[in-house]
A and B are shown apart, each in its own frame.
Chain A
Amino acid sequence: MLTTVYAILFYVATLTLVGGIAYRIWEYASVPNPLKIPTGPAPRTKAGAAFRVFREVAFFESLFKSNKWIWLFGVMFHAGLLLVLLRHMRYFTQPVWFWVDLIQPFGIYAGLVMVAGLAGLFVRRLAVPRIRYISNPSDYLMLALLILIGLSGLMMKFFAHTDIIAVKQFFLGLMYFDWHPLPSDLPLLLHLALVATLMIIFPFSKLLHALGVFFSPTRNQVDDSRKVRHISAWAAKLEK
Chain B
Amino acid sequence: MSEEAKTPTVDEYLDPLATPCMQPGAMADIHTFPAAPEHQEKLGFPGELPENWEQVAVAKMGELLGKYRGFRVFLDSCVKCGACTDKCHYFMGTADPKNMPVARQDLLRSVYRRYYTFGGKYFPKLVGARDMTKDVLDEWYTYFHQCSQCRRCSVYCPYGIDTAEISMAAREIMDSVGVGQKYCNEILGKVYDIGNNLGLPPKALKMTLEDFEEDLEDETGLEIKMPLDVKGAEILLVTPSADFFAEPHIDGLFGYAKVFHAVGASWTLSSVASEAGNFGMFIGSYETMRNVSMRIRDAALELGVKRIIFGECGHAWRVAYSFLNTLAGPFDFLDPRYPFPQHICEYTWDLIQKGELKFDKSKNDEYRLTFHDSCNVARGASMGSKPGDQFEIPRNILKATCNHYFDMDEDTIKEVTVCCGGGGGILTDDLMDVRVKGASPRMTALGNLRKEKGVTHMAAICAICKSQFTKIMPKYDFEMDSILSVHQMVSNAIILEGAINEDDDDDDDIPGAPDVEAAE
Residue numbers of A with Cβ under 8 A of B are 24, 27-28, 31-37, 39-44, 56, 60, 62-63, 65-67, 70, 74, 124-125, 128-131, 133-139, 141, 204-206, 208-209, 211-213, 215-219, 223, 225-226, 228-231, 234-235, 238
- Is B126 an interface position by the 8 A CB rule? yes
- State A66–B160 Cα separation when bound (angstroms): 12
**In the complex, which residues 143-186 of chain B have their Cβ closer than 8 Å to any Cβ of chain A?**
151, 154-162, 165
Q: Do A225 and B287 touch across chains, with their CB atoms under 8 A apart?
A: no
CB-CB < 8 A to B388: which residues of A?
Answer: 41
CB contact list, B456-482 vs A, under 8 A: none
| Residue of B74, B157, B160 with highest tally of chain A CB at under 10 A | B160
Give the residue of B22, B76, B161, B325 whose beta carbon is less than 8 angstroms from that of A229: B325
In the complex, what distance in Å separates the CA atom of A183 from the CA atom of B19? Answer: 53
Tell whether, in the assembled complex, residue A139 and residue B80 are in contact, meaning their CB atoms are under 8 Å apart: yes
B199 adjacent to chain A (CB < 8 Å): no
Report if B323 contacts A (CB, 8 A).
yes
Contact B156 A31 (CB under 8 A): no
Q: How far is the CB of A61 from chain B (nearest CB, A)?
A: 8
User: Secondary structure at chain A's binding surface: helix, strand, loop or mixed?
Assistant: helix
Question: Which stretch of B268-276, B358-366, B373-381 is in the interface?
Answer: B373-381
Residues on B with C-beta less than 8 A from A136 are: 80, 126-128
Q: Would you call A130 and B82 a contact (CB within 8 A)? A: yes
Tell whether A212 pairs with B76 under 8 Å between CB atoms, given A40-B415, A204-B117. Answer: yes
Select from chain A the residue with minimum beta-carbon distance to B100: A130
B159 touches A209 (CB 8 A): yes
**Across the interface, which residues of B come within 8 angstroms of A216, CB to CB?**
70, 73-74, 77, 159-161
**Chain B: minimal CB distance from A158 (Å):** 29
- Chain A residue nearest in CB terms to B165: A37
Q: Which residues of B contact A (CB under 8 A)?
A: 19, 21-22, 65-70, 72-74, 76-87, 97, 100, 102-103, 106, 117-119, 123, 125-128, 151, 154-162, 165, 286-287, 290, 321-323, 325-326, 329-330, 339-341, 378-382, 386-388, 390-391, 415-416
Which residue of chain A is the closest to B71 with respect to CB atoms? A31
Q: Please report the C-alpha to C-alpha distance between residue A228 and residue B322 in the assembled complex, in whole angstroms.
A: 11
- Asked if A208 contacts B379 (CB within 8 A), the reply is no
Q: Are B156 and A62 in contact (CB under 8 A)?
A: yes
CA distance A231 to B387 in the complex (A): 23
Smallest CB-CB separation from A230: which chain B residue? Answer: B326
Closest-CB distance, B22 to chain A (whole angstroms): 6
Asked whether, in the complex, the Cβ of B81 is within 8 Å of the Cβ of A74, the reply is: yes
The complex places the Cα of A234 from the Cα of B64 at a distance, in Å, of: 12
Specify which chain B residues have a CB less than 8 angstroms from the CB of A129 in the assembled complex. Answer: 21-22
CA distance A217 to B151 in the complex (A): 13
Q: Can you give 16 A-B contacts (C-beta < 8 A)?
A: A34-B326, A35-B323, A41-B378, A44-B387, A62-B157, A70-B81, A131-B81, A134-B102, A136-B127, A137-B128, A208-B76, A216-B77, A218-B162, A229-B326, A229-B330, A231-B326
Instruction: Assess whether B82 is in contact with A131, with CB atoms less than 8 Å apart.
Output: yes
Is B118 in contact with A209, judged by CB distance below 8 angstroms? no
Least Cβ–Cβ distance between B253 and chain A, in angstroms = 24
> Cβ of B67 and Cβ of A40 under 8 Å apart?
no
Chain B hits for A67, CB < 8 A: 82-83, 156
